[in-house]
Amino acid sequence: MQLLATAYCTIEHDLSRSLVRLTRNAVPYRTIEELDGEIAVIGTVLDGVKGQWRLLVDLRSVPLRNDPAFEAASARLRDRMFRHASRIALVVKTAVGALQVKRHVREDHVDAEVFDDERLAMNYLLRPPSVGTSRRRSYMPTSGYVLVQQGRRF
């Protein structure tokens, strides 16, 4: 079911699979104030999703941007997106995008994986946890992250 549709993204919730999908489109934020407004809306929607759920963030259409004001606002957005998810997968289109997202994952201390293939991301999100192990919760310091590209781990 669709939870949100804005000029910048959509959020869908698949109750049967406990999966939330946030798809960012190619429309750039014109101002930091626009982004801050979007952060508030996204946060409110995700705060309302009950129970444990997995998060797929599709960033393949996002225009790259890394000016300092945008980086700070984007950190606030990631905080709102990641705080309740039990498992996180981010899908990117380019190697440059993967590097930027991997940096964010590292800086945010988030247990997430980065993929360039949506099918692999979904497999990761939907597989059951390994027996005898527990997943770290988001925002617990982590020693690393993984980039999975075309089935290979780096």
Q: Is 135 helix (H, G, I), strand (E, B) or coil?
A: coil
**Can you give the length of the chain in residues?**
154
- Is this prediction's pTM over 0.95? no
More confident site: 7 or 154: 7
pLDDT band at 63 (very low <50, low <70, confident <90, very high): confident
Average pLDDT across the chain, whole number = 86
Per-residue pLDDT, 66: 82
Tell whether domain 2-153 is in CATH 3.30.420.40: no
